[in-house]
Copies of this chain bind each other. A is one copy, B any other.
Amino acid sequence: MSDTPPEIDDLIALMAKLPGLGPRSARRAVLHLVKKRAMLLVPLADAMQKVGATVRECLNCGNIATSDICTICASERRATGEICVVEDVSDLWAMERSQQFKGRYHVLGGTLSALDAVGPEDLRIPRLLDRIKSENVTEIILALGATIDGLTTAHYIADQLPEITVTSLAQGVPVGGELDYLDDGTITAALRARRAL
């Protein structure tokens, strides 16, 4: 808009690049920020600056960290024998929310993909193989998405590790899920992996 201050236009253009916000919701968010300057705009700018200055990747596992090694890798309460391999930090957070896994993680940073020309060297796979040698690992749990690329990546990693236990998350009916709404592939997987009650 010609008569809006350029500072506001710049902020709207940047906010519109966030996932989940478009031009219209970015405008609404910026107006909200301007109205709540002391309560929201200034703290948010400070928080972003702080994250920009301190947050980096864990050199060991690729998780988000504020020092060279993330809190999970540095924690003594975490079991060292198990590594859960995930595609992205958001998947690590999802695993942590379930509060079931007490080992450590390895964030690949993506999946192998023939279409996008992503090979093992583009992911943190060599680093994973190094860790397995040095950290006395007995089990690798593959928590990758049930997509073609996810499955390809899982098989590739399993092929590299014939000498240790490699497991993957079970596939089946989600908790609270109704059969009527499930796709054929999920029902087929759930039927194949059926268990005695």
Contacts and interface: CB of A to CB of B under 8 A. Distances in A.
A109 B42 CA distance: 22
Contacts of A71: 3-5
B17 A40 contact: yes
Count of chain copies: 2
A42 B45 CA distance: 10
A19 interface: yes
Contact of A51 (B1, B25, B33, B66): B33
Interface residues of A, number: 53
A15 interface: yes
A5 B54 contact: yes
Given A20-B21, A30-B51, A33-B48, 11 more contacts: A3-B70, A3-B96, A4-B93, A5-B64, A7-B55, A7-B66, A8-B64, A21-B21, A34-B51, A42-B52, A45-B49
